[in-house]
Amino acid sequence: MPQIDVLIIGGGLAGLVSALQLSRQGVAVTLVEKKRYPFHKVCGEYISNEVLPYLSQLGVNAESLQPARLTHFLLTSPAGRSLQTRLDLGGFGVSRYTLDFHLYELAKARGVQFLQEVSVTDTQFHQSHFTVTLSTGQQIQSRVVLGAYGKRSTLDRKFKRQFFEQRSPYLAVKYHLHTHMPRHIIGLHNFKDGYAGISAIEEEKYCFCYLTTRQNLKTYGTIPELERQVVHKNPALRAILENSQSLYAQPEVINEISFAPKACVEDHVLMVGDAAGLITPLCGNGMAMAIHGAKLACDQVQLFLNGQQTRQQMETNFAQRWQQQFGARLRTGRWVQKLFGHPLLSEAAVAGLRQAPFITKAIMKHTHGQPF
C-alpha cells in the first residue's frame, strides 16, 4: 500500500494552493480530484487583492493570467435603486477554468501527484496514519489528510456533519458572458429570493453568477423561465441578460448550498476552503478565504511533519487560527444575507446604505482580510 506524507481530497483553490505550499517545502503530496483539468466551477470568480503577497511567495504570477482589475463596487435593489463605492483593497477577476488549471500545471511541475477522475470513498484513522480508499478500489496510507472537496460531499455523511443532514434551500447558477459594462466594477444585484453578481474576467469575458432558491426553480420549472419571471424584475439584471451573449450551451448549476457553521477538523481530517465554512456569496470573499485557509492549515501541517508539534496540537492550533481569522467574517456574512433577498428589506437596506456609506465600508472591512 503506497505511503505518503499528505493526501488532499479535492483540487479546487484550497486543495491546489495547499499542494503548492507543501510541495515547495519538500512534502510528498497526492491530490485526488473527481474531475479532469481544466473544468468550470460555480463561483463568482472575484479575488480580493489580499491574497497577492502569498501567491507571489508560492511562485504564482497572477498577472500572467491577464485578469480584470476590479476597483469599484455597485449594489442595486430589486427595483433598481443603486449605490457605488470604491473597493479599499480592490481585487481581480479570473475564471476558475483558467486559474485552477494554471495552479494544477504549476503543482504538477513541482512533483505533486494528481489522481484525476477519482473520488475518495472513505478515510479511516489508525493511531498515526490514515487509510484512504479510492473509487478505483486502491488504498493509500497518509500521515495527514486535508479535506478540500468543496461545499458538499458524500464524505460529509461519513463524518456525520450536522449541516449535511439539513436541507438547504439554495442553488447557484453561473454563466460566462460577452457583454458591455465597465470592466473595473463588480456588481451585486438583488431580486426576490436572491441576488446576482457580475464582474469582468480574462479575455474580455464576464462572470455572471446568481444565488436563488430551489423553490423558485420548482415554481417556474426551468432556469430560463425562472430568469424571465424573477431575475428580470431587477431592471439592471434585465438589461444585462437582454444585452449579453452567453458563452455556455448550458449554465453551471449547483444545489444544496449551505451557509451553516461547520467544524474545520473532522475525525482528524483538516478541512480547508468551502469544506471548512462558506461565506455568503454577496460578501465576495470566498476565493480569498479558501486560499488563506489553506495557508493556515499547511503552516500547521509542516510543523507536525517536522516533529515540532503533536497531531493534537496541529488540530487545535489550526482550528483556533481558522476561527480567529474567519469566524467573525462568516457571522457577518450570515447577518448581511438576511438583509437581501426579501424585496422590502433589500430596498430598505440599499436606501440606508446610500445614506450612510460608512456602513458599506464597515461591512466590507468585516468580510475581508488584510494582505498576507
DSSP string, 204-268: T-EEEEEEEEHHHHHHHSSHHHHHHHTGGGSHHHHHHHHT-EES-SS-EEEEEE--S---SEETT
Residue 258: other Cβ atoms inside 10 A: 21
335 three-state secondary structure: helix
Is 84 inside any structural domain?
Answer: no
Return left, alpha or beta for 348; rule: phi > 0 is left, psi -120 to 50 is alpha, else beta. alpha
Spatial separation of the C-alpha atoms in residues 80 and 87, rounded to whole Å? 21
| 306 lies in some domain | yes
pLDDT along the chain (372 residues), means of 10: 92 98 96 97 96 97 97 94 93 98 98 98 95 97 97 91 87 96 96 94 97 95 96 96 94 90 96 93 88 98 98 98 93 83 82 84 85 94
Say how far apart CA 20 and CA 13 lie, in whole Å. 11
Taking the C-alpha atoms of residue 16 and residue 335, their distance in angstroms, rounded to an integer, is 30
Distant-in-sequence, close-in-space partners of 284: CB < 8 Å, separation ≥ 6: 44, 46, 48, 91, 186, 188, 197, 367
Please check whether residue 86 lies inside any domain of the structure. no
Give the bridge partners for 194, in sequence order. 191
**Domain encompassing residue 355:** 3-42+96-167+258-364
Please tell me the predicted confidence (pLDDT) of residue 358: 85
Instruction: Tell me how many domains the chain contains.
Output: 1
Cα-Cα-Cα-Cα torsion 236, 237, 238, 241, nearest 10 degrees, comes to 130
| Ramachandran category for residue 8: left, alpha or beta (phi over 0 → left; psi -120 to 50 → alpha) | beta
Q: What is the CATH number of the domain that holds 345?
A: 3.50.50.60
DSSP single-letter state for residue 313 = H
Asked whether residue 176 is domain-assigned, the answer is: no
Is position 16 within any domain? yes
Q: Which long-range contacts (CB under 8 A, 24 or more apart) does 359-364 make?
A: 360/73, 360/75, 360/83, 360/85, 361/85, 361/88, 363/283, 363/332, 363/336, 364/73, 364/87, 364/88
| pTM of the model as a whole | 0.94
pLDDT value, residue 13? 97
How far is 61 from 78, CA to CA, in rounded Å?
Answer: 38
According to the model, what pLDDT value does residue 141 have?
97
Would 123 be classed as within a structural domain? Answer: yes
Yes or no: say if 196 and 208 are a contact pair by the CB < 8 Å rule.
yes
Q: How far apart are CA 139 and CA 128, in angstroms?
A: 16
pLDDT at 348: 87
Residue 284 lies in a domain: yes
On whether residue 85 sits in a domain, the answer given is: no
